[in-house]
Amino acid sequence: MNDLTQGQRKELTAEQQWQQFSELKTAQDYIESLRGRKLEVFLLGERVEEPVDHPIIRPSINAMAESYILADEDPQLATVWSSIAQQQINRFLHVPESPQDLVQKNKMQRRMGQLTGTCFQRCAGLDTLSVLFSITYDIDKSHGTRYHQRYVDFLKKAQKRNLIVGAGMTDPKGDRSKRPSDQADPDLFMHVTRRTEKGLYVTGAKAHMTGGLNSHWICVMPTMNMREADKDYAVIGMIPATAPGLTYIYGRQSCDTRALEVGDIDKGNAKYGGQETLVIFDDVFIPWEHVLMDGEYEFAQELVSRFTAYHRASYVCKTGLGDVMIGAASSVAEMNGAETASHVRDKLVEMTHLNETIYSSGIASSYEATQHESGAFINDPILANICKHNVTRFPYEISRLAQDLAGGLMVTLPSQADFEHETIGPKLDKYLQGKTSVSTEDRTRMLRLIENMTLGRNAVGYLTESMHGAGSPQAQRIQVLRETDFGKKQSLAKRLAGIIATDADSHLG
């Protein structure tokens, strides 16, 4: 492919695009698949030659790689038989074929959160793969297009090769009071710029792309409901992460430069981290075989609604992080010698109550899933939105209680270099001792973990992402309002109150 001209390189066929991908079996295979891609990646104002080896980026790759490890170590949880590929595949590539599939997905997500203590970056891609199965089916049924078979063909290849597909939904949006086609700058929403015999070209950007840099493919799709004037913005397409015209700008995270320091104690969670990138698309080509929507604007809103039903239930992943937080808080209380205090126990109970409340609404939405005509199962939308709405609040309270139990030392600890200093190190070891049965270093490590998850790099994955991921709190409230049948609830009340039933109430008997 290196011998191709720039123009030929821009219009690679679908078959040519697939040639760069071989089957991945292990976590190490995955990590190596990200090497040597010559991507345009910028971090802290500099181009990164090899993202895999960058100390700020590598923890996010490690977190994603854990999904391959889990599939190997616990195949019953993290793998599933695919009726599309006709083989056992990673569950992160599976379109749910039953409510139990969705339940197992939630359990896997919680386990991944427990193992990494951060955002492991695969949920949005998984939920994109799920929603595309039904939405392409519906577009074909309405317009006689062939998107669904294109999608199934793509998914089969991705499943067999065990690849990662990232989700590119959120546009920069510009002036929020204006529609996509009304923006002063048309590039503030992803749009089609031209079409050729071989495919189409898109320009724009996708913001907050979770794990975008760590993916093999990026699926771009509409971010909101569209109207006829927005037809060129109603586009879904699969793009290789190596496609010409892509630029990745890595987002800053609190305390991220600690990853550049020597030693691991001050990092809190040295091995794992999350990732958010702004991905710019400058005249990027998509062959027709990988185009799954092109102008069918009336399906954009339904796409978003179904995606949020999947993705907002996926936020049970935060209960895995909550498990880590509760474990850290109870550990540090024990290290401080305060584990038997009644107020400490009460706070730990409250943390557990909040964490399990999140999990229960997410699991309930999976058990209450309904089957679409295409065969895919979709989470109950109200319960999924309730799950995510709980996530916008409860992790913050869990974090507050963890900080309460940790004490002020969490934010006044000297550095690892101070602890290792030949003169002051022994003094710190003496004066920062908790229980004599616990080393000062172990206590310090636990405090740093709480700091990392509530204030540091992984606070993005546990707190900020809990607030804004899959939509802001108001977005969930709007969706709950749309999905709730208040008339039916009124009928229930009127019946018991003895108010004469209307025709609409007659089904209640």
DSSP conformation class of 463: I
Distance CA(389)–CA(472), nearest Å, equals: 9
Among residues 123, 128, 272, 297, the one annotated as catalytic is: 123
219 a catalytic residue:
no
Distance CA(99)–CA(403), nearest Å, equals: 37
Distance CA(457)–CA(278), nearest Å, equals: 18
Are 104 and 257 contacting, i.e. CB atoms less than 8 angstroms apart?
no
Are 228 and 296 contacting, i.e. CB atoms less than 8 angstroms apart?
no
Residues 6+ apart with CB under 8 A from 262: 417
Among residues 276, 289, 296, 334, the one annotated as catalytic is: 276
Among residues 137, 151, 317, 462, the one annotated as catalytic is: 317
Distance CA(31)–CA(24), nearest Å, equals: 10
Among residues 119, 147, 250, 454, the one annotated as catalytic is: 119
Q: Which helix (H) or strand (E) holds 444?
A: helix 440-454
46 a catalytic residue:
no
Among residues 66, 97, 334, 465, the one annotated as catalytic is: 465
Give the CA count within 13 Å in the CB-facing half-sphere of 491: 13
Distance CA(429)–CA(431), nearest Å, equals: 6
315 a catalytic residue:
yes
Among residues 118, 128, 136, 210, the one annotated as catalytic is: 210
> Which residues are bridge partners to 168 per DSSP?
220
191 a catalytic residue:
no
Token pair, residue 66, equals 């854990």
276 a catalytic residue:
yes
Are 66 and 272 contacting, i.e. CB atoms less than 8 angstroms apart?
yes
Among residues 250, 272, 315, 359, the one annotated as catalytic is: 315
Token pair, residue 245, equals 């015209």
Give the CA count within 13 Å in the CB-facing half-sphere of 217: 28
Among residues 94, 216, 311, 389, the one annotated as catalytic is: 311
Give ∠ CA 387-392-398 in degrees, rounded to 5.
100
Q: List b or e across 305-337, with b for residues whose CB sees 16 or more CB atoms inside 10 angstroms.
A: bbbbbbbbbbbbbbbbbbbbbbbbbbbbbbbbe
The residues carrying an active-site annotation are: 119, 123, 210, 276, 311, 315, 317, 465
